[in-house]
Amino acid sequence: MKSDFTVLIVGRENVGKSSIFNKLINQQKAIVDDFPGVTRDRLYGEAEWFGKKFTLVDTGGILFDGEDLIKTKVVDTIKDVIKSADLVLMVADGRSGLLPDDKKILTFIKENNPNYVVAVNKIDSQAAVDKSYEFYNLGIDTLFPVSSAHSLGLDDLLDYIAEKIPAEKPGKGGEKLPKIAITGRENAGKSSLFNALLKEERSIVTEIPGTTRDAVDSVIEMKGKKFIIVDTAGVKKRRNMKGKPEAFGIGRSFANVKRSDVMLHVMDIMTGITEVDKKLLGYAAEHLKAVVICVNKWDLIKPSERDAKRAEYIAYLRDEMKFMDYAPVVFTSAKNATGLEKVIDIVIHVENKYNFRVKTSILNRMIREAVFKKAPVTKKGSLKIYYATQVSAAPPTFTLFVNSADKIHESYMRYIENKIREAFGYEGCPIKLKVKQKEKKEA
């Protein structure tokens, strides 16, 4: 679900707003295509810093006409959200120095929102830091010299944002429900599955407008638990794309995956894995979403061949998409309404695990047993794992405290991740594992 605290990024063109946006949400936010209706003037992302979550909004660069008038189109887009933002992050260019346009933009911000902070980007040396102090001439009290290219100064900026976020900010009313995005390429039976689930449960509560086009969110109750479920337009290839693998509808599917908790991905048993499937599942993995794979049109397989076909197809999926080996696979026929009960059970189970928290004492007992069975693989020198803790859920995120963070080998990190998954049954859930070096005096 979308975070309650919103940070709006504003600034001139080419000051590095999008680079900072990508760094703060810890991913490369892809612009899928430049077809009309796909590109947005604003980009939304979810960020988290020491348990504080916030929504980050990237905007187009503010331009000025000859008579110092701000171009209407860009400003209208920003005005839609600036007054309701909890914090406005103005980004300036440290290499260009303080320009008259920066002063005009800050004036514009002050007129619309009293809560703002200034970050001066492209600061990658002490000389650049010293030069950045000229931005205090804007009449501001707080300034953050940063370099998005080298990830310098961003920790301090994130600390500042986190301090502004209340420990608990009241929502707009109503319970927060887990969101399930149903995805899949065109003709995989995605909408048929969606309709079959609603018909099977006969418990649709309401329909609410989706935040992306061609989507309607429905609140349904499955086995006593309410979910928001969204059926998106099927992804298909656009004509005259000159062989590009991108799909026209994939941008909308990406947006729905981004705002979901669980992705229910529908595939056609007769078609096999397509590039579209890999893109969507890869996007879910990159954004750490829980995943259930639903192989549809099972009725087309002869009953006598189903056991062998099931084992064969699962092996095929695991081989082709090793990055998604944690996702459970269920076989259904939306047409005949078979396998729906299992889909519901697995989705509920996976969503529960996505939000599951392990007690620290139990987690550390498991870590000690894992280390006893297999000593840490290091790049150099000795490595000691002091303890571990789960820092957050959705996705399950764990931190290992060690004596030297740069010594632990990636293969050992995978081993620990697999042991966590094996011990606590995180089926369908990505696991985020961090390493933090503990100072000697703390050890």
* Domain's final residue, options 354, 376, 406: 354
Residue 443 is assigned to a structural domain of this protein:
no
| Together in a domain, 116 and 44 | yes
- Which tokens go with 231? 């059926």
Helix-, strand-, coil-residue percentages of the chain, each rounded to 5: 35, 25, 40
Residue 169 is assigned to a structural domain of this protein:
no
- In this structure, what CATH number is given to the domain that contains residue 25? 3.40.50.300
Q: Are 121 and 153 in contact (CB under 8 A)?
A: no
Q: How many helices and strands (H and E) does the chain possess?
A: 12, 16
Domains of the chain: total: 3
| Together in a domain, 96 and 131 | yes
How many other C-beta atoms lie within 10 A of the C-beta of residue 109?
23
| Together in a domain, 241 and 349 | yes
**Distance between CA atoms of residues 84 and 78, nearest Å:** 11
Chain mean position to CA 396: 13
Query: Which residue's entry shows tokens 């099927």?
Result: 234
pLDDT tens digits in sequence order for the chain, 443 residues long: 445 788 999 998 889 888 898 888 875 443 333 332 222 456 778 888 877 888 888 887 777 664 444 455 557 667 767 888 899 999 999 999 999 989 999 999 999 999 999 999 999 888 888 888 899 889 888 889 999 888 888 888 988 998 898 865 444 444 578 989 999 887 888 878 877 777 643 323 333 333 333 445 677 788 888 888 876 555 554 443 333 334 445 666 777 788 789 999 999 999 889 988 999 999 999 999 999 999 999 999 999 999 999 999 999 999 999 999 999 999 999 888 899 999 999 999 999 999 999 999 999 999 999 999 998 866 666 788 889 999 899 999 999 998 887 778 888 999 999 999 999 999 999 999 998 887 654 44
* Domain's final residue, options 288, 321, 354: 354
Residue 283, CA distances (Å) to 46, 118, 188, 199, 205 in order: 15, 32, 19, 30, 30
Beta-strand relationship, 143-145 and 116-121? parallel
- Environment class of residue 303 by beta-carbon count within 10 Å: exposed (0-12), middle (13-18) or buried (19+)? exposed
* Domain's final residue, options 100, 135, 164: 164
Question: pTM score > 0.85 for this model?
Answer: no
Q: Which range marks the domain in which residue 82 is found?
A: 6-164
| Together in a domain, 244 and 325 | yes
| Together in a domain, 204 and 251 | yes
| Together in a domain, 240 and 290 | yes
Residue 84 is assigned to a structural domain of this protein:
yes
Using alpha carbons, select from 432, 258, 425, 280 the residue that is nearest to residue 352.
425
* Residue 42: strand, helix, or coil: strand
- Which tokens go with 65? 């006409």
Task: Render 243-292 in DSSP notation, one character per residue.
Answer: T----TTHHHHHHHHHT-SEEEEEEETTT---HHHHHHHHHHHHTT-EEE
| Together in a domain, 282 and 414 | no
